[in-house]
Amino acid sequence: MINSKMEKIRKYFMYFFMYAVVGWLYEVFLEVVIYKWGFSNRGVLFGPYLPIYGFGALVFIFLFYKLSRKKQPLTKKIAVVFLVFLGCAVAATIMELVTSYVLEVITGSWPWQTYTDYEYNFQGRIALSPSIRFGLGGVFFIYVLQPIFVKIVDSLSKKTLVTISTLLFVIVFIDFIVQILK
């Protein structure tokens, strides 16, 4: 029983890490290609990963993944996709708002742009436009990426899963400690 729980934890850590990397790539893509601001490390950690995306994806998975996998008639499936969109938008927006306050207390600011230029924003911390993107991203995570990530992680042998997840955890943990000590 303990081994199966540890295996689940390792799998969820792998999902966390994969989404943290996807989030970092997305942010860098926006920064370099779309906004043409030039490259900067978008995260609070040194490595090419954004933990907020990993945590957000885990929230999406826990709340919506099973619902998204149910066999349903097309009309109900469309309604579920819309509910997943709304749920992901709300969950991610709440996470972004809470994270902005926590990081402001810890570091004096939050590492993403303020949304003061957006028409519908709250204290420049959250805004409607990014919330819509979070909802769309959540649908993409749940319906496209998560089934792929499940296949990848499930294809790993137990030994490989232990090795990779432990190594990645140690790297992220050390990165976190180094950033705290700065």
Considering the entire predicted model, what is its pTM?
A: 0.86
Contact indicator for 53, 24 with CB cutoff of 8 Å? yes
pLDDT in tens, 95-131: 999 988 988 888 787 767 788 888 899 998 999 999 9
Is it the case that residue 1 has pLDDT exceeding 70? no
Residues 68/142, Cβ–Cβ less than 8 Å: yes
Measured CA to CA, the distance from residue 170 to residue 148 in angstroms comes to 25
3-state secondary structure of 121: strand
Q: Which residue has the higher pLDDT, 39 or 87?
A: 87
Alpha-carbon gap, residue 31 to 36, rounded angstroms: 6
For residue 174, what are the contacts with CB-CB under 8 A and spacing of at least 6?
A: none
Distance in angstroms (rounded) separating the CA atoms of residues 143 and 68:
7
For 9-38, the pLDDT digits (tens) are 999 999 999 999 999 998 888 888 887 787
